[in-house]
């Protein structure tokens, strides 16, 4: 509000009524530029131009900027649920708020909240520690510039030795911006490339557009090592933050483009096939199937001259994964079989784990849990030999799900705690919610209905906290099925009413529309049968997969 008041005091007379209205109506759900004009009795179509000139943003962007600044503070400093924040700020749905916040900040609200709290905890831990007073030129000649050094430089607090060290460091980082013999001496070796880990430190917290600009050799960062590091970080990031995974995979391609003509052609072709394969995978995880298909086509062209078994196996796994999510299951299975057949020739054991886990997941989707158990069992033995805890946890999770479907609960009790411990160590909250979901079905199968209800409720709350509206709605349907079998019709109606808006948000899909109509009819009739719930659940699962 203070920001708006300050802008109003400085704004031209014709803009002040709009800002005064904004001050009292910022959180109105219907607020937009047209409502502003109507409320203030303004008809001049050029007013948005004057507004933009006065506050440096057009009306719609100014409204969103003010709202989302407040969202950042609420996410960091309050215990409000994300859906509550969305409602308070005037957003029509949680999904609309999440998309706006992601577009504005580059992060999903749940990821922003987690990171801001981690940063706050780190700051509190470090509070009271004195900043280094002097730079050690010998030890830090190649390190990046610290904020404390920069502050001292701006305030004139550097001594001669510190100033010389800082000048040399800046000449290496910004070689194209300096001239003269001193700069040439600082960069006498003619190589300005940073090591891959230093380049990553420089890039990782920057906005996507700036990061992409930098890897295009602006600071001579590009190297094969940085390309591989960006690919690896993309794979890791996609597990928690799909959009960041996409951005990093595309940054890897930019890095590779900067190396065109500087590395051997066979190596470039191999890296190009590898890079586009993982771009396709990142886009698939982000459910951007058309662009995943486009990236896969580029990978397929690039892979033709490549004989490396690892690259070809990874390509088959990613292509099969995309076909599985497109519900082209026959094609997905043929590709998965080819990938698994190639595993004996691959050098990377991670690919073995990925290939077996993927085919096992495909078997689960095709209602073949026995085959899934066989692949997960083989994958578990390989997973125990690698350091990637996420892959190990994924295999153990899949093994518990497939064993639970077969009713082999004693074995589930053996493996589920392993998966839980790994995901807890990784702080992978969404996976922990899936484990709660699995435990709910096991308890239900064993006739322990109160325990099943507790697990379903915990899983649903966890998905809501993680901003996973679809998963929370699917858990709500399963809980409604449990209540239906117990004859708790009021609880069934309550849950069904809550999930209708989620499935309505998938309205572009025929299956989602059918699910919404079925639920609306059942709610109107005040009678939701178990058969209706099962049909709706099947339709909603299909809608999510396309």
Region 160-184: what's the mean pLDDT?
Answer: 57
Q: Count other C-beta atoms under 10 Å from residue 190's C-beta.
A: 7
What is the pLDDT at residue 272? Answer: 95
Asked if residue 249 lies in contact with residue 279, where contact means CB atoms within 8 angstroms, the answer is yes
What is the pLDDT at residue 49? Answer: 66
pLDDT tens digit sequence for 471-507: 888 899 899 889 988 888 888 888 888 887 777 775 5
Nearest residue to 166 via CA among 140, 192, 185: 140
- Is residue 508 very low, low, confident or very high in pLDDT (cuts 50, 70, 90)? very low
What is the C-alpha separation between 176 and 197, in angstroms, rounded? 22
Asked if residue 96 lies in contact with residue 132, where contact means CB atoms within 8 angstroms, the answer is no
pLDDT tens digit sequence for 225-253: 889 999 999 998 888 788 889 999 999 99
What is the C-alpha separation between 443 and 330, in angstroms, rounded? 33
Nearest residue to 397 via CA among 422, 416, 374: 416
Task: Indicate the length of the chain as a whole number.
Answer: 546
For residue 93, pLDDT over 90 is answered with no
pLDDT tens digit sequence for 326-385: 888 999 999 999 999 998 888 888 999 999 999 999 998 888 999 999 999 999 988 888
The conformation of residue 144, written as its DSSP 8-state character, comes to P
What is the C-alpha separation between 435 and 416, in angstroms, rounded? 8
What is the C-alpha separation between 320 and 283, in angstroms, rounded? 14
Asked if residue 246 lies in contact with residue 208, where contact means CB atoms within 8 angstroms, the answer is no
Q: Which CATH number fits domain 2-126: 1.20.1250.20, 3.40.50.300, 3.30.300.130, 1.10.10.60?
A: 1.10.10.60
What is the C-alpha separation between 495 and 368, in angstroms, rounded? 31
Burial call 333-368: b when 16+ CB within 10 Å, e when fewer = bebbebbbebbeebeeebbbbbbbbbbbbbbbbeeb
- Is residue 42 very low, low, confident or very high in pLDDT (cuts 50, 70, 90)? low
What are the structure tokens assigned to 60, written together?
């719609």
For residue 192, pLDDT over 50 is answered with no
Q: Which residues contact 508 (CB under 8 A, 6 or more apart)?
A: none
> What percentage of the chain has pLDDT greater than the value 70?
79
pLDDT tens digit sequence for 18-40: 888 888 888 888 777 677 777 77
What is the C-alpha separation between 16 and 20, in angstroms, rounded? 6
- E-state strands within 161-287: none
Asked if residue 422 lies in contact with residue 399, where contact means CB atoms within 8 angstroms, the answer is no
What is the C-alpha separation between 384 and 393, in angstroms, rounded? 10
> What percentage of the chain has pLDDT greater than the value 90?
29
Count how many Cα atoms sit within 13 Å of the Cα of residue 515 in the half-sphere of its side chain. 31
Question: In angstroms, how far is CA 237 from the centroid of its own chain?
Answer: 7
* DSSP H or E stretch at residue 161: helix 160-173
Nearest 5°: CA angle at 177, between 163 and 142?
Answer: 50
**Maximum average pLDDT range among 181-185, 353-357, 466-470:** 353-357
Region 145-156: what's the mean pLDDT?
Answer: 63
What is the pLDDT at residue 150? Answer: 66
Unique residue bearing structure tokens 């050690």: 136
364 vs 545, residue with greater confidence: 364
What is the pLDDT at residue 146? Answer: 62
What is the pLDDT at residue 138? Answer: 37
């Amino acid at each position: 509000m203070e920001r708006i008041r300050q802008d109003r005091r400085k704004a031209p007379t014709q803009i002040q009524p709009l800002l005064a209205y904004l001050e009292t109506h910022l959180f109105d759900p219907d607020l937009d530029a047209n409502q502003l004009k109507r409320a203030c009795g303004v008809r001049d179509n050029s007013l948005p131009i004057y507004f933009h000139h006065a506050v440096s943003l057009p009306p719609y962007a100014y409204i969103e900027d003010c709202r989302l600044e407040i969202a950042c503070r609420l996410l960091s400093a309050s215990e409000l649920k994300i859906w509550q924040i969305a409602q308070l700020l005037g957003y029509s749905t949680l999904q609309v708020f999440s998309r706006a916040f992601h577009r504005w900040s580059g992060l999903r609200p749940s990821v922003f909240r987690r990171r801001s709290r981690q940063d706050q905890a780190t700051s509190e831990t470090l509070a009271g520690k004195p900043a280094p007073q002097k730079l050690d030129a010998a030890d830090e000649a190649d390190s990046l510039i610290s904020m404390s050094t920069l502050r001292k430089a701006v305030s004139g607090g550097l001594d001669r030795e510190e100033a010389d060290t800082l000048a040399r460091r800046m000449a290496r980082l910004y070689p194209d911006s300096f001239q003269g013999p001193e700069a040439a001496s600082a960069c006498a070796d003619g190589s300005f490339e940073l090591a891959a880990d230093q380049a990553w430190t420089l890039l990782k917290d920057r906005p996507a557009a700036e990061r992409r600009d930098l890897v295009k050799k602006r600071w001579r960062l590009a190297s094969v090592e940085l390309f591989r590091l960006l690919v690896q970080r993309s794979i890791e990031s996609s597990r928690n933050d799909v959009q960041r995974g996409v951005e990093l995979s595309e940054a890897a391609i930019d890095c590779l483009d900067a190396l065109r003509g500087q590395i051997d052609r066979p190596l470039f072709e191999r890296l190009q096939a590898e890079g586009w394969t993982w771009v396709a995978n990142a886009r698939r995880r982000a459910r951007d199937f058309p662009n995943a298909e486009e990236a896969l086509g580029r990978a397929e062209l690039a892979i033709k001259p490549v004989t490396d078994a690892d690259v070809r196996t990874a390509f088959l796994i990613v292509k099969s994964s995309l076909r599985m999510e497109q519900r082209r299951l026959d094609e997905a299975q043929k590709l998965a079989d080819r990938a698994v057949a190639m595993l004996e020739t691959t050098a990377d054991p991670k690919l073995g784990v990925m290939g077996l886990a993927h085919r096992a997941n495909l078997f689960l989707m095709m209602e073949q849990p026995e085959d899934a158990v066989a692949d997960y069992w083989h994958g578990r033995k390989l997973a125990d030999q690698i350091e990637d805890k996420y892959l190990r946890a994924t295999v153990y999770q899949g093994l518990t799900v497939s064993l639970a479907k077969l009713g082999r609960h004693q074995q589930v009790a053996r493996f589920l705690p392993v998966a839980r411990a790994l995901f807890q160590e990784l702080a992978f909250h969404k996976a922990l919610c899936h484990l709660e979901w699995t435990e709910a079905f096991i308890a239900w199968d064993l006739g322990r209905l109160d325990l099943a209800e507790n697990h379903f409720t915990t899983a649903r709350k966890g998905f809501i906290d993680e901003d996973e509206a679809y998963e929370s709605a699917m858990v709500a349907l399963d809980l409604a099925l449990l209540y239906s079998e117990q004859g708790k019709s009021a609880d069934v109606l309550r849950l069904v009413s809550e999930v209708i808006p989620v499935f309505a948000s998938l309205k572009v899909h025929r299956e989602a529309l059918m699910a919404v109509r079925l639920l609306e009819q059942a709610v109107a009739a005040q009678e939701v049968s178990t058969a209706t719930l099962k049909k709706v659940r099947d339709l909603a699962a299909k809608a999510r997969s396309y």
